[in-house]
């Protein structure tokens, strides 16, 4: 595939040569039928690993491997991802494909992603990671064509497109998780997200907001935690992530190992157990 530079495959080869054993491996056999070199690479990985999560950022040379048992990472990740973010997002099982590019998808990539999304070996659908750019038109088209998408993630979305796409995925009825990192979320989008959290299809929700967000801190915190309380009243078990200073106010929640995070960004997460 011409749009993927040779450096990407050189990077993968270097990682495969550098590590003799990988403990956790996701089944990648469905990728072996694709017409670009990712297929043979996947077969090579499967020979060396029991199970592997394979992350690909299209049109760049970044890839990393996740060993869940040891919670260590053999990785070459974008420089704007720190270790905490990689651990956090990986813990929620976002996998398969991540898209990080301002250019429109070429037809081969488009068809490959569509094929992956419809494959029975793709349990989470296609996961899109987008930088601080407008979403390409044919990426929007792809999202509309996907028969099922269970995870949707964004990074620094600062345009009006993410809200409608999120609502479209929610209405499709298969969306289990949403990850918003440094997203500009307004009150309308947050209200839609809160309504989704209260639906039977909810699985998990992760949100970090920069200070430029139009929302006041108490507004988005209060609505998210109250949505979690609603689920508890419905007999659900909820694991939450919040600043330590807030935990005493929500004794009905269980807390994950990440709940002590107190960084400079607004921060909220809920997960259905």
Q: What is the CATH number of domain 49-271?
A: 3.80.10
| Selected residue with higher pLDDT from 67 and 259 | 259
pTM: 0.47
Q: What is the pLDDT of residues 21-43, one digit of tens each?
A: 333 333 333 333 333 344 444 45
Q: Is the pLDDT of residue 216 over 60?
A: yes
Strand partners, 40: none
Report which of residues 252 and 245 the model is more confident about: 252
38 contacts 11 by C-beta, under 8 angstroms: no
Give the pLDDT band (50/70/90) at residue 195: confident
pLDDT at 124: 42
Please report, for the chain, the start and end positions of each structural domain, with discontinuous segments joined by +. Answer: 49-271
- Tens-digit pLDDT profile for residues 160-176: 455 555 666 666 666 66
> Which runs of consecutive H residues, i.e. helices, occur in the chain?
6-18, 38-48, 83-91, 107-117, 137-145, 162-172, 187-197, 217-233, 244-247
In this predicted structure, the answer to whether residue 48 has a pLDDT above a threshold of 70 is: no
pLDDT at 235 over 80: yes
Residue 234 or residue 246, greater confidence:
234
pLDDT higher than 80, residue 80: no
């Amino acid at each position: 595939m011409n749009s993927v530079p040779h450096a990407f495959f050189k990077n993968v080869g270097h990682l495969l040569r550098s590590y003799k054993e990988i403990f956790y491996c996701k089944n990648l056999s469905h990728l072996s039928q694709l017409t670009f070199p990712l297929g043979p690479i996947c077969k090579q990985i499967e020979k060396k690993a029991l199970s592997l999560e394979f992350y690909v950022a299209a049109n760049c040379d970044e890839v990393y491997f996740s060993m869940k048992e040891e919670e260590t990472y053999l990785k070459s990740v974008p420089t704007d991802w720190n270790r905490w973010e990689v651990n956090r997002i990986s813990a929620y099982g976002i996998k398969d494909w991540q898209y990080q590019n301002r250019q429109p998808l070429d037809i081969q990539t488009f068809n490959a992603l569509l094929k992956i999304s419809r494959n029975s070996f793709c349990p989470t659908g296609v996961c899109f990671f987008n930088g601080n750019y407008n979403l390409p038109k044919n990426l929007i088209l792809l999202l509309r064509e996907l028969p099922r998408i269970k995870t949707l993630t964004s990074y620094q979305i600062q345009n009006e497109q993410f809200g409608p796409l999120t609502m479209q995925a929610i209405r499709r009825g298969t969306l289990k998780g949403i990850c918003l990192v440094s997203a500009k979320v307004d009150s309308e989008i947050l209200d839609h997200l809160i309504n989704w959290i209260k639906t039977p299809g909810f699985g998990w929700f992760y949100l970090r907001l920069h200070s430029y967000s139009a929302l006041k801190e108490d507004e988005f915190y209060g609505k998210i935690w109250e949505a979690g309380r609603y689920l508890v009243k419905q007999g659900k078990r909820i694991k939450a992530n919040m600043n330590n200073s807030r935990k005493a106010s929500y004794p009905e929640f269980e807390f994950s190992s990440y709940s002590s995070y107190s960084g400079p960004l607004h921060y909220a997460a809920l997960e259905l157990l």
